[in-house]
Structure 1
Amino acid sequence: MNFSPKKKTPNILLLIASFAIVSLILWNTNSFFKKFKEEERYKMQIWATAQSEFLSLPVEADPGNLHIKIFQNNTSTPMILVNKDSSIKINNMPGALSSDTAYINRKIRKFKSENNPIFIEYKGENLATLYYGNSEVLNKLKYYPIALLLIIFLFGTVIYFLFKTNKTSEQNKLWAGMAKETAHQIGTPLSSLLGWNELLKSENINPEITKEIEKDITRLETITNRFSKIGSLPILAEHDLVEETKNAYHYLKSRSSKLINFSFQTHVDHVPVLLNKALYNWTIENLVKNGIDAMRGKGNISIEIFPSGSSVKVLITDTGSGISKNNFQTIFNPGVTTKKRGWGLGLSLVKRIVEEYHNGKIKVLSSSEKGTIMQISLKVKK
């Protein structure tokens, strides 16, 4: 089987091209902002020149249509004109009063930080000083690069999670492929074992021996069946949850250490649920074995079944060392394990079997130094 991951070169090129386009837009916007700011200053210099000529005219002189046109044309740039006699004239500042000295001084400081003031002179005499701020359009354009940077950040975050998801998907395909290949490889010696067992039966060997061999062969067939179902949609059929849980319970009890005390309790006799028997038994087995490992081979394991509205809950309780509350969610992630030699696949498979295949829920109900309770919730078939 070919497990080689797909080449990521097109994705990387797409990422580089995307960042290049966004960076170009950012640079172009910054250039446009500077050009627009220069044009706005040029417009204010024209206004200041017109004001200089206007202030130099005799009182009885006609200012002319050109001067009036220039003064009326500025409807967007906020400005404060301070004459040499300290009188103040404001424009394009709705609600502002020239008599409000504190407000005018704050605005002058703000305008000076945005643009250098323009001194209106005539024949070497300073007639007035023009303070002006950025227009509303320029202010919006000023913050546009910041918005673009946020877009770049969000875009990069999306790309990162896209690559991460793609990598996880490839890993899942790899594990699924390995599982199917393992099932395929087990099938050949398993067929041979069946033949050898039949041969042993004909040799007048103690029937108990061949019977036990048959149990182990059946067990291997179950394991092969489980692995072959990984990565494909399993077939669900109506089964009694109580009976299937009991079967898994008795099998695990008979093959576990005598130092483990098993107990089984059910508050309902029969619960019809859509199940895949092989995968459900695998789930119970994984949870019980995790509990046994947490107890280091000695302690109590209990399985309890009780109805809850339209669903049924299965509790697997152990008396192990417990799980940190911070790990209640992460222990179901692939590769996460608290065991020194664990692969971190057991609980990940359990979560997938319960939630993706059976539309149920699994969680750590509670955990402490005295033990852990794992809860499986499945819908009852009506």
Structure 2
Amino acid sequence: MNFNPKNKTINISLMVGAFFIVSLILWNTNSFFEQFKKEERHKMEIWATAQTEFRNSSQTEDLGDLHLKIFQNNTSTPMILVNKSGTFNAKNIEGNKKKDTAFIKQKIEDFKKENTPILMTHKGELIATLYYGNSEVLNNLKYYPLALLLIIFLFGAVIFFFFKTNKASEQSKLWAGMAKETAHQIGTPLTSLLGWNELLKDENINPEISVEIEKDICRLQTITDRFSNIGSLPKLEEKDIVAETKSAFDYLKRRSSKLIQFSFDSKVDELPVMLNKPLYNWTIENLVKNGIDAMRGKGHIAIEIIPAGSFVNILVSDTGHGIPKGNYASIFNPGHTSKRRGWGLGLSLVKRIVEEYHNGKVKVLSSSKDGTVMQISLKTKI
């Protein structure tokens, strides 16, 4: 999805609109809750008035059907009527706890927090106090705004991760585009260098100079091929894994410090594997350079090729300071680096090249204060 400024404005507008609608629902629910609570109190006040008239009427007086209907219809609101003498009568209270004095006292305290008690008076004298709680319907409605707040939070989290994922995707496309553009820009002077080198061969100069220039031109061509393959599915060809690994290893060996010892060992003379040569060489280069950095320019770098059934394992080891076990997975994340001036892209590129482009695996096989062993596993053609 292409997020241009216009699309971003639309998405932000939709997000704000969605939050506005959910907030409006939340506000209306809260208003409805308060209105329902007022209606319930009004109902309890009518009940208290009917109860007062009933208590102060003569036994022979006809109360009529209205009082009876008021008493009978209240089947949902829990209440406790406490007489001035201290006796109480509980209605709509659960179970067999209506006679439990400690439970009733606790309920009275709970009801006080939920609703203001209703004082029942006759001729200015307090005859009873009515404590009542919220009905089951009101209690359920009370938690509905909390559910809406949770929905808002989850909705916001989804939107956040949606934009974050798309931003990361856009950044990935940007880097891929920059890599391809870099390869394109290098191509022009590279072609010119090839022509100038051919002219130098015709001049009466030391042939070794031309040979070395040709090597560097080939190196630039390799770098160009690497960058042009970023962001697109590279073409794999059948190559000898032993020869390709040794070629990349020897190139780095010739251009590294004399303080670093290099060793190469293969358990087989040759082994066919489907490879993209420029990207695979880049992988070996990154692993070897990381090992050299870990050793701070002095130590031993070794590569070993070991067949393992239908796979081949390429082990790159160094004698550096090692990797903490908790960082075995995170070192492959983009941006993870232990270098002051590092970008943290080397090992993330290694993982992408090996696992996404070659359907292989790369991992830290082992690591300690004496060094680290990285393992690449690729499927063979045998």
TM-score (norm 1): 0.89
Residue 45 of structure 1 deviates from its aligned partner by: 1.1
The reply to whether residue 279 of structure 1 matches residue 279 of structure 2 is yes
Distance 1:369 1:11 in 2: 50
Distance 1:26 1:94 in 2: 31
Residue 140 of structure 1 deviates from its aligned partner by: 1.8
Aligned to 1:164: 164
Distance 1:114 1:360 in 2: 64
**What's the CA shift string for 1:210-238, capped at 9, x where partnerless?**
33333322222111111001111222344
Superposed, 1:210-249 pairs within 5 Å as: 210-249=210-249
The reply to whether residue 6 of structure 1 matches residue 14 of structure 2 is no
Aligned to 1:84: 84
Distance 2:48 2:238 in 1: 88
**What's the CA shift string for 1:80-117, capped at 9, x where partnerless?**
12233433222222214332111111111001110011
Aligned to 1:141: 141
Aligned to 1:182: 182
Q: Which amino acid aligns with 2:344?
A: G
Structure 2 segments unaligned to the other structure (5+ residues):
none
Aligned to 2:322: 322
Residue 266 of structure 1 deviates from its aligned partner by: 3.6
Distance 2:243 2:96 in 1: 83
- After superposing the two structures, state which structure 1 stretch, 33-42 or 114-123, moved more: 114-123
Distance 2:68 2:244 in 1: 94
Are the aligned partners of 1:48 and 1:118 in contact in 2 as well (CA < 8 Å)? yes
Cα 1:90/1:344, change in 2 over 3 Å: same
Superposed, 1:17-96 pairs within 5 Å as: 17-96=17-96
Distance 1:134 1:376 in 2: 66
**What's the CA shift string for 1:45-85, capped at 9, x where partnerless?**
11112222222233344543222222222222111122334
Cα 1:89/1:234, change in 2 over 3 Å: same
Aligned to 1:302: 302
Aligned to 1:128: 128
Percent identity, aligned pairs only, is: 71
Tell me how many residue pairs correspond in the alignment: 379
Aligned to 2:363: 363
Residue 180 of structure 1 deviates from its aligned partner by: 0.8
Residue 375 of structure 1 deviates from its aligned partner by: 2.7
Residue 6 of structure 1 deviates from its aligned partner by: 2.7
Distance 1:229 1:340 in 2: 28
Residue 76 of structure 2 aligns to a residue in which SS? coil
Residue 336 of structure 2 aligns to a residue in which SS? coil
Are the aligned partners of 1:88 and 1:98 in contact in 2 as well (CA < 8 Å)? no
Aligned to 1:256: 256
Q: Which amino acid aligns with 2:347?
A: L
Cα 1:240/1:136, change in 2 over 3 Å: farther
Q: Which amino acid aligns with 1:189?
A: P
Cα 1:309/1:29, change in 2 over 3 Å: farther
Structure 1 segments unaligned to the other structure (5+ residues):
none
Residue 271 of structure 1 deviates from its aligned partner by: 5.0
Distance 1:236 1:90 in 2: 83
The reply to whether residue 345 of structure 1 matches residue 353 of structure 2 is no
Distance 1:32 1:342 in 2: 59
- After superposing the two structures, state which structure 1 stretch, 126-135 or 283-292, moved more: 126-135
Distance 1:180 1:277 in 2: 18
Distance 1:173 1:263 in 2: 38
- After superposing the two structures, state which structure 1 stretch, 18-27 or 267-276, moved more: 267-276
Are the aligned partners of 1:75 and 1:92 in contact in 2 as well (CA < 8 Å)? yes
Q: Which amino acid aligns with 2:123?
A: K
Distance 2:268 2:58 in 1: 106
- After superposing the two structures, state which structure 1 stretch, 196-205 or 37-46, moved more: 196-205
Residue 143 of structure 2 aligns to a residue in which SS? helix
Q: Which amino acid aligns with 2:12?
A: I
Q: Which amino acid aligns with 2:94?
A: P
Cα 1:23/1:308, change in 2 over 3 Å: farther
Residue 354 of structure 1 deviates from its aligned partner by: 2.1
Distance 1:272 1:92 in 2: 83
Residue 265 of structure 2 aligns to a residue in which SS? strand
